Structure 1
Amino acid sequence: MAPRPPLEPTAVWSLVTGLLGLGPVALVLAAVALRRVASRHTRGRGLAIAGGVLGMLGTVALAVVGTTLVLTALATRPLPADVPSARSAHAQQLVTGNCLATVPADGPVDSVRVVPCADPHEAQVITEFSFAENAVWPGQQAADARVARACVLDDAEIGAGVRTVTWSPTERSWAKGDRIGLCLAVVDGGGVTGSFLDGSANLP
């Protein structure tokens, strides 16, 4: 009776690394194991195939997680104070100085159109209010009130018809780490050029 072929250790390791979620490692080990099983006439082809399947699934999962993290980082990265060209952005990316083509309707705000302040626009972020990182959610009305208290125009701006709009974190965005409230100077109908921050704003 012929002796039983030895078990290919690389096949075992491909399965182990696949079970541990090390997808790319499991794929490489599975490929190596299949070649060795064929050339050395050892056992373990089934283990190598299982390791390869697990490795493929793990690699896809890692790619999805990596892509999600990159997209999340890009979606929350602060903008420069004055963007060089018009672009869409998430409200959480806005900083003091950003000019908005239009002001979205009342309600939760996600995507906005940010333009260079030299271009005609309807609003500009003029101040930010930062809640403490360890603060407890105060409730929507209290959050709105705190941001509103930091939102002040001078007499000349009020006389020219400028009004304020405040955007504060919602309970949902607060749970995701949002701690910034924004104060916007708004001229209904748009057509403003320049910046309220340096006194260069020209009203229509």
Structure 2
Amino acid sequence: MPLEPLAVASVVTGALALGPVAGVLGVLALRRIGSRGTRGRGLARTGLALGVVGTLALVAVLVGATLTARNQHPLPADVAAPRQAHARQLVTGSCLDPLPTAGEVDTVRVVPCSGPHAAQVVTEYAFDDAAVWPGQAAADARVAASCGLTPTERDAGVRAVSWAPTEDSWRHGDRLGLCLATTDAGQLTGSFLDGTVHLP
């Protein structure tokens, strides 16, 4: 009995990580083996198994890429309803509640600026895309130096909080530092950007 060519093709395409193709060829090979009496049932099953594994791996990669892209898509300056977001999605105008206090910032809760909030992103500091990682202390210092408050804001108890890229986020293309305005006296309402902010 001759060897079924589709059985061989399913194994080859499976080994080349062409999961969906290997799966289809494996199924077709099994059908042809059953109807024509050719050899290669074991190869066809191997190709089918490789196809299933390869397809699942492809789906996992696509889902991961989609989630990564979503976590990097900038938010609007103000949101209509509270939502969880990645820190890299924040832009000038974003209002947060609560304000993360320590450690590396990852996920934050973004809220409408018209309601109570703990802090607002008031400026951004962009590192050059071609810049070499300056070290965490230098990155922190550069972003902090760009965070300026007006004398009126300082007299009212407003303080600046700076967030700089970490070495890990820098390796993944993060070149944006954020300056946030907050106060220890209580929650804010309104926006610093249009002068509607109400200090507690």
Q: What TM-score bracket applies, with the shorter chain setting the length? A: over 0.9
Aligned-pair CA distance for 1:102: 2.0
Instruction: Indicate the residue corresponding to 2:105 in structure 1.
Output: 109
Aligned-pair CA distance for 1:186: 0.6
- Whether 2:187 is the aligned partner of 1:191: answer yes
SS at match of 2:61: helix
Aligned-residue CA RMSD (Å): 1.0
Q: Which runs of 5+ in 2 are unaligned?
A: none
Q: Identify which range, 26-35 or 188-197, moves more after superposition.
A: 188-197
Question: Which amino acid letter does the alignment assign opposite residue 58 of structure 2?
Answer: L
TM-score (norm 1): 0.95
In the aligned structure 1, how far is the partner of 2:51 from the partner of 2:109? 42
Instruction: Indicate the residue corresponding to 1:150 in structure 2.
Output: 146
Instruction: Indicate the residue corresponding to 1:13 in structure 2.
Output: 9
For the pair shown, the structure with the greater C-alpha radius of gyration is 1
The count of corresponding residues between Structure 1 and Structure 2 is: 200
In the aligned structure 2, how far is the partner of 1:189 from the partner of 1:25? 62
SS at match of 1:134: coil
Question: Which amino acid letter does the alignment assign opposite residue 179 of structure 1?
Answer: R
- Whether 2:162 is the aligned partner of 1:166: answer yes
In the aligned structure 2, how far is the partner of 1:10 from the partner of 1:107? 55
Retained in 2: the 8 A contact 1:127–1:184?
yes
SS at match of 1:105: coil
Instruction: Indicate the residue corresponding to 1:81 in structure 2.
Output: 77
TM-score (norm 2): 0.96
Q: Deviations over 1:162-203 (max 9, x none)?
A: 000000011121111111000001122432111001111111
Instruction: Indicate the residue corresponding to 1:133 in structure 2.
Output: 129
Retained in 2: the 8 A contact 1:121–1:192?
yes
Question: Which amino acid letter does the alignment assign opposite residue 15 of structure 1?
Answer: V
- Whether 2:26 is the aligned partner of 1:30: answer yes
State how 1:45-84 maps to structure 2 within 5 Å.
45-84=41-80
Give the fraction of aligned pairs with identical amino acids, expressed as a percent.
62
Question: Which amino acid letter does the alignment assign opposite residue 47 of structure 1?
Answer: L
